A and B are shown apart, each in its own frame.
Chain A
């Protein structure tokens, strides 16, 4: 018994309390969001970090110093902590604010450029990211490479002064608006004994000659995804990102940032808030319904504490890959639970054409639900990571 117990790794980092000074920041963000809503600048949506593309809103956030918050001031950022950024981010998501335009750049590219980028790359991109003017995409998946990401076939060959890239990326969120993306490509032939070797990352500006971006409409018909085709696209040496052949380690290093954030359980929070509003219209809510809401809120509170614990660990330089995978697995399943509870507790059918409010939020959430447990690594793959972390594989 004792031996098996000590072999089990810690599954979640120590709890984190947000430093007191962040209450002020939180209050400022809430005030800003309330004023924006009162002025009718946007209406709260579900899954806004995917669908709420609003460049002007991103710029307003940038002007307030709420983007690129962890980027050092010399690169145009705020030099604040990941927990400061956490507070701003969770407030934006909870309010259903349109954060999609800057999402990838702010969450992932900024920190990655600070870890792996050259001085030149940082100067080129970071100030624009912090102003909310430069948007990024992620070029990982391909038609034949989804969960098995190491099998990517997009290739770059050495040419004079750089590389020539050929291949196809798919499911690229926002590529039709983005200025650039990170591409994971094969820079030396596949070695069957080490599948992760020979992969590199490039920073690709999407207006380069030879790039074709085609929409892949979502099931709603909305344009979010794209196919990005490279036909002998020249990538200068300056745009190699990090170390050649270290692409795999870099990509997996980014995943801890990508997986544990509040967006992994708050996509449907505006729907939950709206559900509470709908239920509150009745003079008396029956005990069973009250308990169902209580169960959802208890889970939410717990997920937030777990996600904060991971953010705290990231801030102190750890890379809690196991905990991040676990939070995303639980969180994305939870987002679906909100959808089902909303359907079943209130007798209002989802209506994409309704006025802003419950029926429309429900429609958005129902239609986006499949994505929750796919994007950023499917839940089956995440559980594989958890199993490995617990010593099962």
Chain B
């Protein structure tokens, strides 16, 4: 399943590739919906493909590698999941979920601010976890202050003043923790993909760019840099895939899943930093231009490493667990076997 899926995803993303466009790629989104990629892990009743987290992992990695401009993680792993888990109908179209502190009035209307919502202007609905409640809001009922991350992806601040939710329900137990973990997992997989994309581009470029009469790929200093980037890409791939696997096997409520996702997001963040640095160094000045599309992956590496908890945040989570485990508990913690 996974390798066919990967091929399908790669071909869909390659066809959609457009270095100059920004914002939601509506054609690509339609294709994702038609091919079942858009709601990979959701149940059929919610318009989903009932795939595994491993399937979603392959898809998101590919989306990151090709800089696909569609909210796949947001729709499937976050918005769709949260609405469904709260017992609500999963709305159509691209979705997103965020946690926020909204004021819920006696008549059910809500007020408050949702800062930097991914794809906020472009989604059909925002699923908000507020306290123990889940409310589904349409952006058309909110004031949208457009913003972006450093990759020019929409990160819009949405303001509700007495907005009427399309639906509301009770949040499942542990929803806040699970939402954060799902977001970090999705982001890790996207990072691993973007790192691969940046590396592949750099290797290609090093084979074409000639200086001193030969391709720069023939210089050992360049090779050593790219090999280091290769090991960082491999680390990000291994960490994010293993975290997806752990979540899939054990569920999000298991402590081993928290540990794995925390470690993976931290590792992918560190890889992002190293790979983006090396990719730009190898490309020289051309990679620093608008004209060149290296930026499509490197700016995503810069944006995503700091979203859904940066390396430092997740290192704090891992470090706290390690210190609580103590000298004798550290190894069992790392192996996931008490």
A5 CA / B14 CA spacing, docked (Å): 10
CB of B52 closer than 8 Å to a CB of A: no
A287 CA / B204 CA spacing, docked (Å): 42
Tell me how many residues of B have a C-beta within 8 Å of chain A: 66
- Please encode chain B, from 216 to 240, with 1 for each CB lying within 8 Å of some chain A CB and 0 for all others: 0110101110111011011101110
- Contact call B266/A298, Cβ cutoff below 8 A: yes
**Minimum C-beta distance from A150 to chain B (A):** 18
Q: Which residue of A lies closest to B265 (CB)?
A: A298
Near B by CB (< 8 A), chain A positions 9-60 give 11-12, 14-15, 17, 23, 26
- Contact call B270/A7, Cβ cutoff below 8 A: no
A3 CA / B66 CA spacing, docked (Å): 11
A26 CA / B337 CA spacing, docked (Å): 9
- Contact call A330/B231, Cβ cutoff below 8 A: yes
CB of B97 closer than 8 Å to a CB of A: no
* Stretch from A130-138, A165-173, A304-312, A364-372 forming part of the interface with B: A304-312
The one of B200, B226, B270 in contact with A392, judged by C-beta atoms closer than 8 angstroms, is B226
Q: Which residue of B lies closest to A285 (CB)?
A: B323
- Contact call A280/B315, Cβ cutoff below 8 A: no
Chain B hits for A95, CB < 8 A: 331
Chain B hits for A326, CB < 8 A: 227, 230-231, 234
A383 CA / B224 CA spacing, docked (Å): 6
CB of B312 closer than 8 Å to a CB of A: yes
A303 CA / B220 CA spacing, docked (Å): 26
CB of B93 closer than 8 Å to a CB of A: no
A330 CA / B224 CA spacing, docked (Å): 13
CB of A375 closer than 8 Å to a CB of B: no
A4 CA / B65 CA spacing, docked (Å): 11
Chain A hits for B72, CB < 8 A: none
A386 CA / B10 CA spacing, docked (Å): 25
- Please encode chain A, from 271 to 305, with 1 for each CB lying within 8 Å of some chain B CB and 0 for all others: 01110110110000101011111110111111111
Chain A hits for B37, CB < 8 A: none
A257 CA / B223 CA spacing, docked (Å): 24
Chain B hits for A382, CB < 8 A: 227
- Contact call A2/B14, Cβ cutoff below 8 A: yes
- Contact call A11/B319, Cβ cutoff below 8 A: no
**In the complex where A302-B235, A326-B234, A384-B223 touch, is A294 in contact with B319 (Cβ < 8 A)?**
yes
- Contact call A302/B203, Cβ cutoff below 8 A: no
The one of B227, B260, B318, B323 in contact with A383, judged by C-beta atoms closer than 8 angstroms, is B227
The one of A1, A323, A383 in contact with B197, judged by C-beta atoms closer than 8 angstroms, is A1
A383 CA / B235 CA spacing, docked (Å): 15
Q: Which residue of A lies closest to B208 (CB)?
A: A4
- Contact call A305/B239, Cβ cutoff below 8 A: yes
A326 CA / B227 CA spacing, docked (Å): 8
CB of A351 closer than 8 Å to a CB of B: no
- Contact call A294/B235, Cβ cutoff below 8 A: no
- Contact call B266/A305, Cβ cutoff below 8 A: no
CB of B327 closer than 8 Å to a CB of A: yes
A300 CA / B266 CA spacing, docked (Å): 12
**Minimum C-beta distance from A36 to chain B (A):** 15
CB of A314 closer than 8 Å to a CB of B: no
- Please encode chain B, from 258 to 300, with 1 for each CB lying within 8 Å of some chain A CB and 0 for all others: 0110111011001000000000000000000000010000000
**Minimum C-beta distance from B86 to chain A (A):** 31
CB of B8 closer than 8 Å to a CB of A: no
Chain A hits for B228, CB < 8 A: 329, 383
- Contact call A297/B334, Cβ cutoff below 8 A: yes
CB of B45 closer than 8 Å to a CB of A: no
Chain A hits for B196, CB < 8 A: 5, 8
CB of B245 closer than 8 Å to a CB of A: yes
Chain A hits for B328, CB < 8 A: 273
- Contact call B312/A291, Cβ cutoff below 8 A: yes
Chain B hits for A6, CB < 8 A: 10
- Contact call B234/A11, Cβ cutoff below 8 A: yes
- Contact call A298/B315, Cβ cutoff below 8 A: yes
CB of A348 closer than 8 Å to a CB of B: no
Chain A hits for B262, CB < 8 A: 294, 298
CB of B180 closer than 8 Å to a CB of A: no
- Contact call A387/B241, Cβ cutoff below 8 A: no
A247 CA / B239 CA spacing, docked (Å): 36
A6 CA / B315 CA spacing, docked (Å): 33
CB of A207 closer than 8 Å to a CB of B: no
CB of A97 closer than 8 Å to a CB of B: no
Chain A hits for B242, CB < 8 A: 15, 302, 305
CB of B335 closer than 8 Å to a CB of A: yes
Chain B hits for A4, CB < 8 A: 200-201, 203-204
A303 CA / B236 CA spacing, docked (Å): 10
Chain A hits for B14, CB < 8 A: 1-2
CB of B322 closer than 8 Å to a CB of A: yes
CB of A63 closer than 8 Å to a CB of B: no
- Contact call B234/A387, Cβ cutoff below 8 A: no
- Contact call A291/B334, Cβ cutoff below 8 A: no
**In the complex where A15-B238, A301-B260, A302-B238 touch, is A393 in contact with B322 (Cβ < 8 A)?**
no
Q: Which residue of B lies closest to A14 (CB)?
A: B241
**Minimum C-beta distance from A198 to chain B (A):** 27
Chain A hits for B218, CB < 8 A: 393
Q: Which residues of B contact A (CB under 8 A)?
A: 10, 14, 17, 65-66, 196-197, 199-201, 203-204, 206-207, 217-218, 220, 222-224, 226-228, 230-231, 233-235, 237-239, 241-242, 245, 249, 259-260, 262-264, 266-267, 270, 293, 311-312, 314-323, 325-328, 330-331, 333-335, 337
Q: List 21 A-B contacts (CB under 8 A).
A: A1-B66, A6-B10, A15-B241, A15-B242, A26-B335, A276-B330, A279-B323, A293-B318, A294-B315, A294-B318, A297-B319, A297-B330, A298-B315, A302-B263, A302-B267, A304-B335, A306-B234, A383-B227, A387-B226, A390-B230, A392-B217
- Having A5-B197, A280-B326, one finds 10 other A-B pairs with CB under 8 Å, namely A1-B14, A2-B14, A276-B327, A285-B323, A294-B319, A297-B319, A301-B267, A330-B231, A382-B227, A383-B224
Q: Which 4 A-B pairs have the closest CB atoms?
A: A294-B319, A294-B315, A277-B327, A4-B204
